[in-house]
Structure 1
Amino acid sequence: MDHEKLAKKAGQLLVIGFNGIKVPQEIRDLIHTYHIGAIILFGRNIGTPKEVLALTTDLQREAKKAGYTHPLLICVDQENGVVRRLGEGATIFPGAMTLGATGNPNHAYNVGVATGNELKALGINWNLAPVLDVNNNPDNPVIGVRSFGESAESVSKFGRASMQGMQEAGIATTLKHFPGHGDTNVDSHLDLPTIPHGLDRLEKIELKPFRECIAEGADTIMTAHVYFPSIETEPGVPATISRKVITGLLREKLKFSGVVTTDCMEMNAILHGVGTEKGAVAALKAGVDYVMISHTLERQVGAIQEILKAVENGELTEEEIDQALQRIHALKEKYLSWEDIPLDDEQEVPETVGSKQHEKIAFEAYKDSVTIVRNKGIFPLTTNNGLRILVVHPDNGTTMQVEDKRYANLSLGEAIKGYQQDADIFQFSSALDEQEIAAIVEKASGYDTVIVGTLTITPSSNQITLVEKLIKEKDSVIVIAMRSPYDYGYLPDVPAYINTYEFTYPALKVAAGAIFGKEEVKGSLPVTVIKRVVGGK
């Protein structure tokens, strides 16, 4: 057995990440020693568009020097909306539930093409999107608005349109999180969720979007670190390392012949179970092709060593590794060629990134998505007639581990000020307590209208108390749910309520335009919202 050759085969099965906007020496070493197959970029790697292009070019140059037959796959979670990685200079596009609220899959296709064009222009050739989870659990802490909605039919349509749009732009896509992460109330970043449904129900709901997109030419599928007892009989085995799920269900039953990648193997559902390194071997044995280890160098190298050990002791065969590599190479053949990758230093970022045309595509989708759930004659408000407006919203936007903290600054006040310059803004802390609520209610007494931005209300959230107290004191209260449409279930008595499904500035700007009668919005709820019982009421 040629150890060096086998090590390079094992390395090609890894997707790895690193810190910083420049390529660290240890990553260069891994590329040369192990021929690492793919790189994942996070917010920590994203600078200006020029810096991103320089980073991806440098990575490809290193791979070329190392003698790669195909370029590196470079991937990113650009789901858009609340989960996005591109920042300064790139277009802000609507996320999945925002698109679902438009009712028009053409928006998903157009946003898919435009997103793909911007990624490709920056040297990113693989997007870890679209999300095909059907969000039929209002308490899901990790999917929520990352899903197109609660209907398997709608998720199938929008997911297919999004996938095909990105593929049209020449970007490899990923359907995630197989076999479905929508009906959980546990975040697999933190623990192992279980989905107890029988196979009949899974066939009708969770699996339907995957089956339909596989039939339309899916590129890659990402596994969920979720336990499905109706498929996997061994207790506590997540889908990622279950042969019954990956080979039995996905490969054999659903006939998927493309690349299967894991979600990050450093998430707690794996890390605190089988462990990252041993989990890499277990995933490959289950039928996975790409093992994703996003953060830690020691675990990345350790996983390669475990794979080599597994081949040496017969736990894993070289033939199984070769089959995975064939699927990876087929994906690279389809999307990548050294001829298409400029390797020179001083490249200009193509004008497509952050272009006016892309902003227009995004804006049209936002206008069709923002949803007026209730309006008891409270708005449109008239601008500049001496109307005193107070805008109240949380000071931080992230609640999910997968969200990028760089985009957590909420800009609702800024959006309202675009129409009413003298509006006042009050930001409350995430620890909103009774004293802070009393101060806000007292301050509100001096204003004609209070606009409250809410952010993923839970049964114990003091945002409920705040809104209820404001409604008691004032006739004109408008609530804008800046992420979760389910907030309305906790606030059924509010006189005016709008959903934006995300706290991105363009979404909030459109909502502000609707409040002042300057934008006609057409969105409808892609999920059912029922009244929630709070504190025994």
Structure 2
Amino acid sequence: MLTRDLNKLLSEMSLEEKVGQLLLIGFEGRRPNREVAEFIKEGKVGGVVLLSRNAEEAGEAADLICVLQKLATAGSHALPLFIAVDQEGGSVVRLTEGVTVFPSNMALGATGCSDYALLAAEAVGGELASLGVNMNFAPVLDVNNNPRNPVIGIRSFGEDPELVAEFGKMAIKGYQNRGVATVAKHFPGHGDTAFDSHLTMPRVPYTMERLFQLELVPFQAAIACGVDCIMTAHLAFPAIEANPGLPATLSETVLTGLLRQKMGFDGLIITDCLEMQGVTAAVNPEQAAAMAVGAGADLALISHSLERQRAAHREIMESVRRGFIPLVRIEEAVGKILRLKQRLFTTEQSISSSGRSRQKVEVSRKLGVASAQNSAEENQSLARRIAADSLTLVRNEGGILPLKLQPNEDLLIITFRGRGLTLVEEGGGFVSGLFHSLRKRHLRIEERIVAISPEENEIDQIIRELKERRPGMVILATQDAGLYPGQATVVKRVAAAGFPSVVIALRTPYDLAAFPEVKTFIAAYGFRTTTLEALAGLLWGEFLPLGKLPVSIPGLYPAGYGLEGFD
């Protein structure tokens, strides 16, 4: 265990080892290759982030974590690794099998019950800790008030900064209750952008007054409640940083001046991945690592290239030797890292058990991991309850819902193929499942899966098929229709043709603005199995709708709106 005197430990570490603690790396494949393993054994890595490419199933993750920690603790100082994942819930989760996948943050916001955020985080945190994961890149504290935001959306709790702050605080408490370090993101705020920082550097053009009234509110609340870490965003904030080409991640004015000095944050500052184009448009990842550390970051995240990771280690070392980064800055960062590791590895996990074998983790592909605090069944039940309580019936003109199909009537589902719409989803995400949930309730059912933004010829074919089959009901499951105009065209043409239909937004509820003429509309905030099963129940009237919009639909409905019954 990390029970040694940390000041003494810090004094015994070489500069090479200290710089190694500042690197948070990722790698390809199910096991680290020889070169990655050697890099870890050399003491040049402070933590590892696991993505879906490394493990999707709980037992597999536990085995991998055991391997990684054994590599790290074989060194002279036996320092364990941070093991991090993005297990946000909803569209962004890395582990999908043998764990409980909870609905999205926006679904939580739609319930109006912040206790759900606490309970969900405790459930997820307990499952992660039982596998040896000690850091979750969550919660997302971005205030999503831009309908055209392509990367945050349902990852946000909503558009009200106070609601985001309250739900965020409860999530932080829940993870910490289970011994998992929390990482609030993406500072200073990625919610009001129309571009994805994986692909470019978005610009947030607002005044400091506006930022403190909106974007920064959840982060200030998180700091007040003791969040462990804050992750930076690769965005330009001209009101804070005068250099237009310098993203927040690399700005001393943002990280030290604003976050440390003005807002009083004393935890770890972690960069978002430095291989994202929001940074690499200006500098290469290894230069970015040195610049970020010099600006005030404590952990530099490089998720992919070992060559870049080794180069970053060399770049930071050279920057210290040449006086560009003061040694005191390195020691300050390492001190924070060691203190957090000491807390994590002396409360919940010993170094030897931080990655447990498959036999020691109770895993069920159907039910999930049973943590020490909750059974797998209890976690699954909680996820189902949240999903049901979040569903928001926005319109039910004509009383189509609940469905009243006769046994001989056909039900057709039109689903837009939305797998991995953003890079953060790693090509994963949506898997068609609404068909299976509805089939339990109605036998005459068929699903038509079409392109995310179908072209005119595909749309014409859909309408021809509908006219030939004359189904009793059409369900259209949209995904970010405002960003993919072909979806709106399909919905409008189905409505114009007079077919009875229900539109379900599987991501953000902003979709309704793209086809305001539709008569029946449900906001679901997600596409995972738990949400789809709840949707099927709502469509058949097995429970009443309770959810309220956590974001406004421009020109149509304010945040907080939602029908409280089918009438």
Alignment TM-score, normalising by the size of structure 1: 0.96
Which residue identity is paired with 1:27? V
Cα separation, 2, equivalents of 1:374 and 1:395: 24
The match for 2:315 is 306
The match for 2:253 is 244
Decide whether aligned partners of structure 1 residues 361 and 344 sit closer, same or farther in structure 2, where only a CA change above 3 A counts: closer
The match for 1:469 is 493
Cα separation, 2, equivalents of 1:249 and 1:227: 14
Q: How many residues align?
A: 531
The match for 1:201 is 210
Cα separation, 1, equivalents of 2:58 and 2:323: 46
What is the CA deviation profile of residues 35-87 of structure 1, one whole-angstrom value per residue up to 9, with x for unaligned ones?
Answer: 31000000001143221110001111111212344421100111110001111
The match for 1:524 is 548
1:368 is the counterpart of 2:377: no
Which residue identity is paired with 1:363? R
Cα separation, 1, equivalents of 2:239 and 2:281: 23
The match for 2:350 is 339
Q: Relative to structure 2, which stretch is displaced further, 145-154 or 404-413?
A: 404-413
**Cα shift at 1:427:** 0.8
Is the CA contact (8 Å cut-off) linking 2:60 and 2:358 kept in structure 1?
A: no
Secondary structure (helix, strand or coil) at the match of 1:427 reads strand
Secondary structure (helix, strand or coil) at the match of 2:428 reads helix
The match for 1:458 is 482
Cα separation, 2, equivalents of 1:344 and 1:243: 40
Q: Relative to structure 2, which stretch is displaced further, 51-60 or 350-359?
A: 350-359
Cα separation, 2, equivalents of 1:127 and 1:478: 37
Secondary structure (helix, strand or coil) at the match of 2:482 reads coil
The match for 1:348 is 360
Is the CA contact (8 Å cut-off) linking 1:145 and 1:501 kept in structure 2?
A: yes
The match for 1:321 is 330
1:212 to 183, 203, 221: 221
Cα separation, 2, equivalents of 1:75 and 1:68: 21
**Cα shift at 1:429:** 1.8
Decide whether aligned partners of structure 1 residues 481 and 61 sit closer, same or farther in structure 2, where only a CA change above 3 A counts: same
1:402 is the counterpart of 2:424: yes
User: Identity over the aligned pairs, expressed in percent?
Assistant: 39
**Cα shift at 1:235:** 2.0
Is the CA contact (8 Å cut-off) linking 1:140 and 1:185 kept in structure 2?
A: yes
Cα separation, 1, equivalents of 2:478 and 2:429: 16
**Cα shift at 1:94:** 1.1
Matched ranges for 1:409-488 at <5 A: 409-445=431-467, 446-458=470-482, 461-488=485-512
Is the CA contact (8 Å cut-off) linking 1:390 and 1:447 kept in structure 2?
A: yes
The match for 1:101 is 110
Is the CA contact (8 Å cut-off) linking 1:17 and 1:294 kept in structure 2?
A: yes
Q: Which consecutive aligned stretches of 4+ in structure 1 deviate over 3 angstroms post-superposition?
A: 67-70, 343-347
Cα separation, 2, equivalents of 1:383 and 1:490: 28
Secondary structure (helix, strand or coil) at the match of 1:252 reads helix
Is the CA contact (8 Å cut-off) linking 1:488 and 1:531 kept in structure 2?
A: no
Q: Relative to structure 2, which stretch is displaced further, 436-445 or 255-264?
A: 436-445
Is the CA contact (8 Å cut-off) linking 1:101 and 1:526 kept in structure 2?
A: yes
**Cα shift at 1:310:** 0.6
Which residue identity is paired with 1:513? G
Q: Relative to structure 2, which stretch is displaced further, 407-416 or 97-106?
A: 407-416
**Cα shift at 1:339:** 2.8
Which residue identity is paired with 1:467? V
Cα separation, 2, equivalents of 1:243 and 1:459: 35
Q: Relative to structure 2, which stretch is displaced further, 166-175 or 61-70?
A: 61-70
What is the CA deviation profile of residues 113-163 of structure 1, one whole-angstrom value per residue up to 9, with x for unaligned ones?
Answer: 000011111111100000000011111111111100000010001111111
Cα separation, 2, equivalents of 1:15 and 1:204: 32
**Cα shift at 1:431:** 4.6
Is the CA contact (8 Å cut-off) linking 2:107 and 2:525 kept in structure 1?
A: yes
**Unpaired segments ≥5 residues, structure 1:** 533-537
Decide whether aligned partners of structure 1 residues 491 and 68 sit closer, same or farther in structure 2, where only a CA change above 3 A counts: farther
**Cα shift at 1:395:** 2.6
Cα separation, 1, equivalents of 2:164 and 2:547: 16
Secondary structure (helix, strand or coil) at the match of 1:109 reads helix
Cα separation, 2, equivalents of 1:82 and 1:170: 24
Is the CA contact (8 Å cut-off) linking 1:35 and 1:66 kept in structure 2?
A: no
Cα separation, 1, equivalents of 2:153 and 2:299: 26
Q: Relative to structure 2, which stretch is displaced further, 276-285 or 23-32?
A: 23-32
Cα separation, 2, equivalents of 1:105 and 1:525: 15
Alignment TM-score, normalising by the size of structure 2: 0.91
**Unpaired segments ≥5 residues, structure 2:** 1-10, 371-375, 557-567
What is the CA deviation profile of residues 369-398 of structure 1, one whole-angstrom value per residue up to 9, with x for unaligned ones?
Answer: 011110111111135532221111113332
The match for 1:503 is 527
Is the CA contact (8 Å cut-off) linking 1:383 and 1:419 kept in structure 2?
A: no
Is the CA contact (8 Å cut-off) linking 2:452 and 2:486 kept in structure 1?
A: no
Which residue identity is paired with 2:362? P
1:162 is the counterpart of 2:178: no
The match for 1:392 is 414
Is the CA contact (8 Å cut-off) linking 1:166 and 1:173 kept in structure 2?
A: yes
The match for 1:535 is none
Is the CA contact (8 Å cut-off) linking 1:483 and 1:500 kept in structure 2?
A: yes
2:153 to 144, 149, 156: 144
Secondary structure (helix, strand or coil) at the match of 1:182 reads coil
Is the CA contact (8 Å cut-off) linking 1:16 and 1:39 kept in structure 2?
A: yes
Which residue identity is paired with 1:184? T
Matched ranges for 1:40-59 at <5 A: 40-59=49-68
Cα separation, 1, equivalents of 2:92 and 2:484: 25
Q: Relative to structure 2, which stretch is displaced further, 107-116 or 31-40?
A: 31-40
Decide whether aligned partners of structure 1 residues 45 and 433 sit closer, same or farther in structure 2, where only a CA change above 3 A counts: same
Q: Relative to structure 2, which stretch is displaced further, 299-308 or 2-11?
A: 2-11
Decide whether aligned partners of structure 1 residues 519 and 185 sit closer, same or farther in structure 2, where only a CA change above 3 A counts: same
Which residue identity is paired with 1:74? I
What is the CA deviation profile of residues 88-131 of structure 1, one whole-angstrom value per residue up to 9, with x for unaligned ones?
Answer: 22112111101011010011110000000111111111000000
Cα separation, 1, equivalents of 2:41 and 2:165: 41
Secondary structure (helix, strand or coil) at the match of 1:15 reads strand
Cα separation, 1, equivalents of 2:422 and 2:386: 24
Matched ranges for 1:77-156 at <5 A: 77-156=86-165
**Cα shift at 1:459:** 5.8
Is the CA contact (8 Å cut-off) linking 2:141 and 2:157 kept in structure 1?
A: yes
Is the CA contact (8 Å cut-off) linking 1:397 and 1:455 kept in structure 2?
A: no
**Cα shift at 1:438:** 1.7
The match for 1:259 is 268
What is the CA deviation profile of residues 265-323 of structure 1, one whole-angstrom value per residue up to 9, with x for unaligned ones?
Answer: 00001112122111111101111100000000110000011011111111112211000
Decide whether aligned partners of structure 1 residues 122 and 322 sit closer, same or farther in structure 2, where only a CA change above 3 A counts: same
Secondary structure (helix, strand or coil) at the match of 1:501 reads coil
**Cα shift at 1:9:** 1.1
Is the CA contact (8 Å cut-off) linking 2:409 and 2:444 kept in structure 1?
A: no
Is the CA contact (8 Å cut-off) linking 2:420 and 2:428 kept in structure 1?
A: no
Which residue identity is paired with 1:349? V
The match for 1:491 is 515
Cα separation, 2, equivalents of 1:419 and 1:444: 22
